[in-house]
Every structure is written in structure tokens, then in C-alpha cells.
Structure 1
Amino acid sequence: MYKILLVDDHTLVRNGFRLILESHEQLSIVGEAGDGVEALELLDKSETPDLIITDLKMKEMSGITLIHKVKVKYPEIDVAVLSMIEDNNTVAEAFRAGAVGFLSKNSDYDELVQGIFNILQGKRYISMEIGLSLLDHFQLNSPIYIDKEAIFHRYDISERELTVLELISRGFTNAEIADQIFLSKRTVEGHRQQLIDKTKTKNTADLVRFAFENKLLQ
């Protein structure tokens, strides 16, 4: 059973997220706090969680400050962000502070749950929407020559798969990609899965992150 502490200054958000998480028998909410100060007080006197999920903008103590303080005093506890604030600088600041995940409040149910389980299993996670924004920022601000032949050889990725990867990174669905490159939707789904298998990533969001970090795309 994974133990989670929720930190958000909106009670409705905490209640809604509690319902989502407690629908899974492996997850248990061991505490709720309305800000960073209250969260630290709970940590001092209650059951230690495996994961803290925190908002960023709160009155008494920001999420970034909370992450810093938790990682100093309780380095064994992971912290993930759940926020509407998704600008690239804030995302980077959260990870520098020690966050292991950044989840968007705009994410759908499946992505939120998948992201949380990835984090609980020791992986880092960024919501797809945020990952695409980071990729766009990287493309605009860091033009780098990519040796595609070296990429093909290193990851055994075909030119067709790289084309599919580029379209995935731009947010196109399988059906939209199929229309653009004149393939069946099933074939595109196969290429997507092959890319995930070859790069040893867990899902599409992780694939986009991998492409960003390993410069698979220009």
C-alpha cells in the first residue's frame, strides 16, 4: 500500500483528488494539508508518506519552498507537483528543488493515475502537455544539428518511425498521423509501440521526454 499526502489550498481539489486516488486499492491518503506549513507540521507528527503531491501557489508556503524543506529534512520522501502553473521555468525550478514529477491539473484521469504510479515505482514523470511544451521550447531555443544516421543505428529506428515520432511530439493522434503519411491507423499504432519498445520507455509521454533528452528530434 502506497501512502500519499495531499497539499493544496483548495479543499474541493483535495477532495476530488482523494476520490481519484482512493479508487485504487494500492493507494492510501494518509493526510491532507492546505499549505506547506501545515504539511510540514503533519510530517512531524503523523505517518510518513511515500509521496507528497503538492500544488505550487499557496498562501503560507509555496510548493517550491515545501519541496526544498522536505528534501532537506525528509530526503526519503518523494515529492511531485500537481498544478495549473506549467511554464517551463517553473517546471525546471520544481525539479531543481527536488521534485520527481510534474503533473498538470489539465491531465485526464488515466494520465494522472499512470503518472502517480510511475513516480511511486521510482521513475520521474512529466505530464504529456508539459513535456510537449518543454520540447517546443527546446526546439525554438536550442537549434542543434542532429545526425539522423547515427540515431537510426544507435536505437535501430527506421526513417518511418522517426517521422511518426516527430508527429507524435507535435501532438497528433494515431488517426491524424495515419492521414498525414498515408498509413493505416493500426500501422501507426504499431510504429508507436515499436518506438516505445526500442527506447525502453513506458508510454507516449515518456517517449517524448526520452526524445527531448536524447536529441532524437530537431
Structure 2
Amino acid sequence: MPRLLIADDHGLYRKGLRCALEAAIPDAEVTEADGFDGALARLEDSGAFDLVLLDLNMPGLVFPDSLREVRACYPRMRFAILSASDTRADMLASLAAGANGFISKLQMDEEIVAAVEDILSGRIYVTPLMVKATVSTQAWGEAGPARPAEPVADVDYGRLTPRQRDVLPLVARGLSNKEIARELKIAEATTKIHMAALLRVLGVRNRTEAAVRAQMLLTRGDHARSEPEFKRPS
């Protein structure tokens, strides 16, 4: 029985894809996550999945670095990128970061289902448009134009995901990944992924700079002003 995880912040698309996959693969067990934080939580709580489908542009995922990091933490799982984009650069970057497939949301339902079945069977999948563009297998090893880290002169607390906001005050206290993992009751490998994403969002190069910037954010009270907007019903 194949176990699949769909991580996408667009609820209608996520639920529609789940229905399509469950109808086409009757014995499939499909789990959902509404962002990268949720995907990491499902990976930690639910054990091994046969395939993890990650939306290219969802909260918490810094492409392609987050893909590379989660792939390194779960080397035996298969990962594929879902995207409304079908550019050659995004496809090459996905494959170079360790994705087992790149699926365009613009494809027909039956094509997406076939793509998932291909990846589950052990093959690498790219959209037919990429094949028509004669992308060679040698080129798959190239990262293509890298997306530069977004310069952050003044960090907006509201840009952080809920889990990054949990990590932020612990970083400000100078805690290690192991100590943060213990505080949040999550795996150390999961903490490393959250920490790497937080460094990029903060626009810093190391933990020392992250601690300083985190202290600045918390001191000026951005978290207090932003908190009500991000509260979710329990």
C-alpha cells in the first residue's frame, strides 16, 4: 500500500489532488499538509512515506535549499515538486536538489496521476514540455540559475512560519539544535531544516548573526503585533 504526502498551502488543489490519487490508486494512503512546517511534522510523526509531493511556492519552503535539506534527512524517501511553473530552470534546480520528479500543476489530471505512478515505480519524471525541450539527462545534474538569497534589510516577523516563530526565541537564547529539538519536542534533523530556513529568512550567515537579529526582532515587539493575525483555531 503506497503512502503519499501532499504538502500544498492551496486547500482546494491539495484536496482535489488527494481525491484524484485515491480514486486512481485505490490502495493508496494519502496524507495532507498545508505548508512546509506541516510536512516536516507529518514526516516526523507518521514515519516513512513512499512519495512526498511538495508545492514549489508554499510557506516555509525556501527553494531549492529546503528540498535539498529534507532530502538529506530522509534519503530513502522519494520526493517530487509540484508547481504552477514549468520552467526549465525550476525543473533543473529541483532535480539537482534531489527531487525524483517535477510535476506541473498545468498538466491534465490523468497526466499528474501517471506521473505519480511513474515516480512510485522508481522512475524520474519531468513534464512532457521539458522532454520536448530536449533536456538531456546530462543536464539534470546542473543546478541551473540559482535563486539568490533574498536580501533582508528589515525582517518582517509576519513572514515567518509558525514553527520558525517557535524557533526564533530559542535561537535568541543561543540554544543549540539539540537543545531546540528538546524544547520543542521534535527531532534534531527537523530542527536543522527549520534552522536553515530561518537563517535565510533572517538574511544572516550563521547562528551568531541569527541570534542577534532574533533578539532585535523580539525586543522591538514585532511578534506581539503580528501574533493575532496568525492564530489558528484549535
Map of 1:28 onto structure 2:
29
TM-superposed CA distance for 1:134, in Å, is 5.1
- 2:26 counterpart letter in structure 1: E
Map of 2:141 onto structure 1:
none
The Cα offsets for residues 149-190 of structure 1, whole Å up to 9 and x where unpaired, read as: xxxxxxxxxxxxxxxxxxxxxxxxxxxxxxxxxxxxxxxxxx
| Corresponding pairs, count | 136
- Determine the C-alpha separation between the residues in 1 that align with 2:67 and 2:60: 14
TM-superposed CA distance for 1:8, in Å, is 0.6
- Determine the C-alpha separation between the residues in 1 that align with 2:63 and 2:4: 16
Map of 1:171 onto structure 2:
none
- Give % identity: 30
Matched, 1:75 2:86: no
- 1:42 counterpart letter in structure 2: R
Return 5+ residue gaps in structure 2 as ranges.
137-234
SS of 2:47's partner is coil
Map of 2:98 onto structure 1:
98
TM-score (norm 2): 0.54
TM-superposed CA distance for 1:65, in Å, is 3.4
Q: Is the 8 A contact 1:104 1:130 kept in 2?
A: no
- Determine the C-alpha separation between the residues in 2 that align with 1:91 and 1:82: 10
Return 5+ residue gaps in structure 1 as ranges.
137-218
The Cα offsets for residues 79-128 of structure 1, whole Å up to 9 and x where unpaired, read as: 01111112111111100110011111111122111111111011101111
SS of 1:52's partner is strand
- Determine the C-alpha separation between the residues in 1 that align with 2:134 and 2:9: 27
TM-score (norm 1): 0.58
Map of 2:116 onto structure 1:
116
- Determine the C-alpha separation between the residues in 1 that align with 2:133 and 2:36: 27
CA-atom RMSD in angstroms: 2.0
SS of 1:22's partner is helix
Map of 1:203 onto structure 2:
none
Q: Is the 8 A contact 2:7 2:35 kept in 1?
A: yes
Map of 2:191 onto structure 1:
none
Per the alignment, do residues 39 and 96 of structure 1 end up closer, same or farther by CA in structure 2, a change over 3 Å counting?
Answer: same
Map of 1:43 onto structure 2:
43
